[in-house]
């Protein structure tokens, strides 16, 4: 039970044997070409690139885990108060189709065998900002990478754009 709770509260990016979702992320989002979405969330997230990863962390001074980063950015950019865990966060907003994603949308991944074990913030052009792992830093990565693309589970928009 303790291991399950650890996986639900932190951001664990341990390898999984096979992808649980096979969703293609190809090309630029159709929606992205014509709208800015919640770009202030994306801008705020990009500004935190380089902050150290810290399990349970939720401030730039103390470091971030994935959900702590998203909670911090949503509050600073929009005044939104999100729940602290990835699973609870996955229930907020509206699910979007992959080709409708916009900067500022939340991107959820299955990295541990659970559909909502990691979260990041989409920043445009198939890239997202996240706090991936112990010993790392907040960084920008591609949704097209061989690691992230098959692990994508859902995209959620917090507020109507």
CATH of the domain at 59: 3.90.1720.10
Q: Of the listed 45, 48, 51, 66, which one is catalytic?
A: 66
Domain range spanning residue 96?
2-157
pLDDT confidence bin for 39, thresholds 50/70/90: confident
Both tokens assigned to 67: 């959900």
Q: What is the pTM of this model?
A: 0.79
Residues 6+ apart with CB under 8 A from 117: 7, 8, 11, 12, 86, 109, 110, 111
Q: How many structural domains does the chain have?
A: 1
Is 66 an annotated catalytic residue? yes
Strand order in the sheet with 94-96: 94-96, 152-157, 106-109, 118-124, 127-130, 139-142
- Which range has highest mean pLDDT (4-8, 14-18, 51-55)? 51-55
Cα–Cα distance for residue pair 71/89, rounded to 1 Å: 9
Q: Is-catalytic flag, 114?
A: no
Marked catalytic residue, from 118, 127, 151, 156: 118
Which of 101, 114, 127, 130 is catalytic? The answer is 130
Does 142 have pLDDT greater than 50? yes
């Amino acid at each position: 039970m303790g291991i399950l709770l650890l996986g639900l509260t932190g951001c664990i990016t341990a390898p999984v044997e096979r992808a649980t979702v096979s969703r293609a992320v190809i090309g630029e989002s159709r929606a992205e070409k014509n709208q800015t979405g919640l770009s202030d969330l994306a801008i705020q997230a990009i500004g935190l690139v380089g902050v150290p990863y810290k399990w349970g962390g939720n401030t730039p001074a103390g470091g971030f885990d994935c959900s702590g980063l998203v909670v911090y950015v949503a509050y600073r950019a929009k005044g939104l108060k999100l729940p602290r865990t990835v699973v609870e966060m996955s229930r907020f907003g509206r699910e979007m189709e992959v080709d409708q994603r916009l900067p500022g949308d939340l991107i959820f991944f299955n990295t541990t065998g659970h559909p909502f074990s990691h979260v990041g913030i989409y920043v445009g052009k198939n890239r997202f900002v996240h706090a991936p792992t112990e010993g790392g830093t907040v960084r920008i990565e591609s949704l097209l990478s061989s690691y992230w693309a098959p692990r994508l589970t859902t995209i959620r928009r917090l507020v109507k754009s």
